[in-house]
Amino acid sequence: MLAKVASGALWPIAAVAILSIASKYVLTWRGRHIFNPTNFGIAVMLLCAPSSMTILSHEFSNSAIANAIIWCVGLIVVARARFLHITFAYLPAFVVFAALRAGLHGGELRTELAPLSGPMYQLFIFFMITDPPTAVTGKRNQVIVAILVAAMEAVLRMGNDAGLPLFAAFSAAPAIFGLAIVGPIAKWIDLERSAKPVVAARIA
């Protein structure tokens, strides 16, 4: 749902599925996968095959009805998973960093906030950043990671706005890449911290 492929090309969808599933079994640490599978698959394809696939933009339109449906379903799903605090941590962080970007570049805040009205961001904040298997333990830590993802996204956006060549590759989907960078690092730290008491107990 998040991918938009070139006309007639089906292989990018298959590639995203293969990469996503494979990452769960190959890219692991202490028996757990550290990359959000879908996020990993999409991020790799956006970097490696940008001419064949891009991110969802307006397939469901930005109409009030489409937004209302996604928000209603998303809120119900995330609330049932007890991860609503992650979504509501990311949203204000995004707004704060959007205001910062607008102030630094002299742009309009409304323009910086516009992505939130699109289906890609809504699917991202409800169904990707809240992935239970790759979320860190503890509400406080989950809130911190959500804010760090928004911060990394802002850095990628500002780097691209400044015309820095290194950041151009991430311009297609800063939010996707923000999670792809911060998420696995946070999960690795979380797994290492949770493993220390076990190791200490065995030594004792």
Q: What pLDDT score was predicted for residue 151?
A: 97
* DSSP-assigned beta bridge partners for residue 55: 3
Per-residue pLDDT of 148-174, as tens digits, reads 999 999 999 999 988 899 899 998 899
4 band by pLDDT with thresholds 50, 70 and 90: confident
Residue of 188, 180, 143, 170 whose CA lies nearest to 37: 180
Q: What is the overall mean pLDDT for the chain?
A: 87
Q: Can you tell me the distance from the alpha carbon of 47 to that of 97, in angstroms, rounded to the nearest whole number? A: 24
Phi and psi, residue 135, nearest 5°: -80, 145
Per-residue pLDDT of 26-65, as tens digits, reads 999 988 999 999 999 999 999 998 888 887 664 445 667 7
Q: Can you tell me the distance from the alpha carbon of 176 to that of 41, in angstroms, rounded to the nearest whole number? A: 10
Domain definitions of the chain by residue range: 3-203
Single pTM value for the model: 0.87
SS (H, E, C) 70-93: HHHHHHHHHHHCCCHHHHHHHHHH
Taking each helix axis from N to C terminus, what angle separates 11-26 and 37-48, rounded to the nearest 10 degrees?
130
Query: H helices of 162-173, where?
Result: 165-168
Per-residue pLDDT of 85-113, as tens digits, reads 999 999 999 999 999 999 988 788 988 88
Per-residue pLDDT of 110-138, as tens digits, reads 888 888 887 788 889 998 999 999 999 99
Q: What pLDDT score was predicted for residue 198?
A: 53
